[in-house]
């Protein structure tokens, strides 16, 4: 996917600032013949039309995916040219990928800047509510806090931020802040929606924009929902996984708009294991109760391994919002520990990080890295009673990568009335560290292992080598 709309043929020149509606329609048609808004040419204001056209473009869906990818790639962008590989193809591929990620990051940064303006205006406006002080006294208070020189130029900068932020709040009023993710805040063709364009929009133009996009209710609803979820990840660290990420997709060109929209839906997580009774279930060794049944069932008198009581809610008290989903280059997605303070402690040694959930199937049903053999801790000889298969459904714990020197481990415990696979920290885990565990699968061992320990062993050329 190209990060920016690529001109494939000769386009008419960008209409000048007094360009007529007709010229703008033609100009946008040159880029996207099938743009859904072109059937509706009833508009009075060019800025409203351009903003609506940008938001309703098929590219808006691609843009959403790009922003998400860019956010996930952040971990590697902190140190973009670090490489441990001594294989030139791997290094060349990494640099090519990095160039694309950094370009995409530019879009994310534009969004984040506008989002900061939006919140800046929200703060000033809420301070203003019920206060007799005016904007400039609030601006002065902020300048004081910043210890910036209180001169004309600094005041104008903040006043402009306030104006832009207020315009954005007004633009988003009907659809929520998620709408910001759909707007390409750049002067790029064909919509040319810079922050300045938003700043200059009058109320009547904003209303017309809202009327123009309102005709595409379902498209707007789905994309704005995605935008809101994405902002929740960015701002509040409430992680969500999207359907797009579950699939290995190289190009978005093959998808219809409806398919693209379905890729932006959140992946539903399993709160608890799903016992698939449709299988023919062999009775496990040393099973002491009636069979067949959910192999994670435990008798009600069995105490919880975490608290020692028989009636508890330990499973609902596990930590939340202490992780991020990141891309780890060749390993793909992984889990990074997250604390509200940079570098802070996230999990104590032996703390439970979460429960691995998935579909419970009979032992040896799947031969896949997305499978874990489940041993009953409370039965003699701890027999494998089932597999937890996370290929189709599960939760975020399934994204934890393998490492030969992991910081967490999978353990089998009875917690809150069920036998469960728990992920437990095997040492202190700090903000920014990748959460890893050791998987038994042979396919991960030796040359196939992508963990940092095995990658380091394969390196013969130390440190980064800069191509000359």
47, containing H or E segment: helix 46-56
Site string for Zn ion, 246-285 (x = CB under 5 A): ----------------------------------------
CB of 418 to Zn ion, least distance (A): 11
The DSSP 8-state label assigned to residue 355 in this structure reads: E
Query: Residue written as tokens 């089998």?
Result: 412
* Of 169 and 333, CB closest to Zn ion: 333
As measured in angstroms, the least distance from the Cβ of 186 to Zn ion is 42
Of 304, 399, 422, 437, the one binding Zn ion (CB under 5 A) is 304
Residue from the set 77, 189, 312, 318 that interacts with Zn ion by CB under 5 A: 312
- Provide, rounded to whole angstroms, the least separation between the CB of residue 402 and Zn ion: 7
Residue 318 engages Zn ion in binding (rule: CB under 5 A): no
Under rule CB under 5 A, how many of the chain's residues touch Zn ion? 10
Angle at 299 between CA 298 and CA 301, to 5 degrees: 125
Cα-to-chain-centroid distance, residue 227: 10
Of 232-240, 279-287, 318-326, 398-406: span binding Zn ion (CB under 5 A)? 398-406
Q: Which is nearer to Zn ion, 4 or 297 (CB)?
A: 297
As given in the structure block, the two tokens for residue 53 are 């056209």
Q: Indicate which single residue of 307, 370, 379, 411 sits in contact with Zn ion (rule: CB under 5 A).
A: 307
404 sits near Zn ion (criterion: CB under 5 A): yes
Is 379 one of the binding residues for Zn ion (CB under 5 A)? Answer: no
**Which residue's CB is nearer to Zn ion, number 169 or number 302?**
302
Q: For residue 223, what are the contacts with CB-CB under 8 A and spacing of at least 6?
A: 55, 60, 61, 64, 178, 181, 182, 261, 264
Q: Any contact of residue 306 with Zn ion (CB under 5 A)? A: yes
422 Cβ contact partners less than 8 Å away, ≥ 6 residues apart: 352, 353, 354, 355, 356, 410, 411, 412, 413, 415
* Distance linking the first and last C-alpha atoms of the chain: 29
To the nearest 5 percent, what fractions of the chain are helix, strand and coil?
40, 15, 45
User: What is residue 348's three-state secondary structure?
Assistant: coil
Which tokens hold the place of 314? 């330990």
Give residues 418-457 in contact with Zn ion (rule: CB under 5 A).
Answer: 449, 451, 453-454
- Record the tokens describing residue 154, joined without a space: 């600094």
- 280 or 442, CB closer to Zn ion? 442
Q: Could you tell me the smallest distance in angstroms from the CB atom of residue 39 to Zn ion? A: 56
Inter-residue contact 225 to 64 (CB < 8 Å): no
Of the pair 283, 427, the CB lying nearest Zn ion is at 427
Nearer to Zn ion, 52 or 304 (CB): 304
- By beta-carbon proximity to Zn ion, the closer residue of 214 and 309 is 309
In the list 93, 314, 370, 411, the residue contacting Zn ion (rule: CB under 5 A) is 314
Provide, rounded to whole angstroms, the least separation between the CB of residue 65 and Zn ion: 31
143 touches 153 (CB < 8 A): no
Determine the interface stretch with Zn ion among 277-285, 314-322, 352-360, 389-397 (rule: CB under 5 A): 314-322
Q: How far is the CB of 445 from Zn ion (least distance, A)?
A: 7
Return the DSSP state at 371: E
- Closest to Zn ion by CB, 318 vs 404, is 404
Contacts of residue 44, defined as CB under 8 A and 6 or more positions apart, other chains included, come to 21, 208
Q: What is the rounded radius of gyration, in angstroms, for the C-alpha atoms of the chain?
A: 27
| Token couple for 90 | 């791997």
| Identity of the residue, 231 or 399, whose beta carbon is nearer to Zn ion in the bound complex | 399
Q: What sign results for the dihedral spanned by CA atoms 98, 99, 103, 104?
A: negative
Contact set with Zn ion (CB under 5 A): 304, 306-307, 312, 314, 404, 449, 451, 453-454
């Amino acid at each position: 996917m190209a990060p920016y709309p690529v001109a494939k043929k000769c386009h008419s020149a960008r209409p000048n600032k007094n360009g007529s509606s007709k010229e703008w329609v033609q100009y946008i048609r040159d880029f996207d013949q099938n743009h859904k808004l072109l059937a509706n040419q009833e508009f009075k204001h060019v800025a409203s039309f351009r903003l609506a056209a940008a938001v309703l473009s098929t590219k808006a869906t691609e843009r959403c995916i790009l922003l998400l990818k860019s956010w996930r790639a952040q971990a590697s962008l902190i140190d973009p040219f670090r490489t441990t590989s001594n294989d030139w193809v791997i290094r060349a591929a990494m640099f090519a990928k990095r160039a694309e990620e950094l370009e995409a990051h530019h879009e994310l940064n534009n969004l984040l800047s506008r989002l900061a303006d939006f919140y800046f205006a929200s703060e000033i406006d809420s301070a203003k509510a019920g206060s007799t002080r005016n904007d400039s006294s609030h601006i002065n208070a902020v300048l004081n806090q910043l210890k910036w020189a209180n001169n004309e130029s600094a005041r104008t900068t903040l006043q402009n931020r306030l104006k832009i932020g207020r315009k954005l709040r007004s633009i988003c009023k009907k659809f929520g802040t998620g709408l910001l993710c759909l707007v390409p805040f750049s002067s790029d063709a064909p919509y040319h929606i810079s922050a300045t364009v938003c700043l200059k929009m009058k109320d009547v133009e904003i209303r017309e924009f809202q009327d123009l996009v309102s005709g595409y209710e379902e498209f707007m609803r789905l994309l704005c929902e995605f935008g809101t979820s994405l902002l929740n990840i960015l701002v509040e660290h409430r992680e969500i996984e999207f359907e797009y990420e579950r699939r290995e997709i190289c190009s978005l060109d093959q998808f219809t708009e409806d398919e693209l929209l379905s890729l932006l839906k959140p992946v539903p997580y399993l709160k608890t294991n799903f016992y698939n009774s449709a299988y023919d279930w062999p009775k496990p060794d040393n099973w002491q109760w009636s069979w067949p049944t959910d192999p994670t069932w435990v008798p009600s008198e069995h105490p919880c391994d975490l608290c020692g009581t028989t009636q508890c809610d330990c499973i609902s008290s596990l930590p939340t919002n202490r992780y991020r989903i990141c891309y780890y280059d060749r390993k793909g997605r992984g889990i990074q520990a997250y604390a509200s303070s940079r570098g802070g402690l996230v999990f104590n040694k032996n703390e439970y990080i979460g429960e691995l959930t998935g579909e419970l199937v009979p032992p040896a049903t799947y031969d896949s890295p997305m499978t874990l053999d489940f041993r009953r801790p409370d039965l003699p000889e701890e027999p494998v009673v089932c597999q937890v298969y996370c290929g189709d459904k599960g939760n975020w714990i399934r994204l934890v990568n393998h490492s030969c020197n992991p910081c967490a481990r999978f353990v089998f415990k009875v917690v809150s009335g069920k036998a469960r696979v728990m992920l437990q920290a095997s040492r202190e885990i700090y903000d920014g560290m990748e959460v890893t565990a050791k998987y038994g699968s042979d396919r991960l061992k030796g040359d196939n292992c992508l963990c940092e320990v095995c990658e380091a062993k394969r390196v013969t050329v130390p440190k980064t080598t800069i191509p000359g």
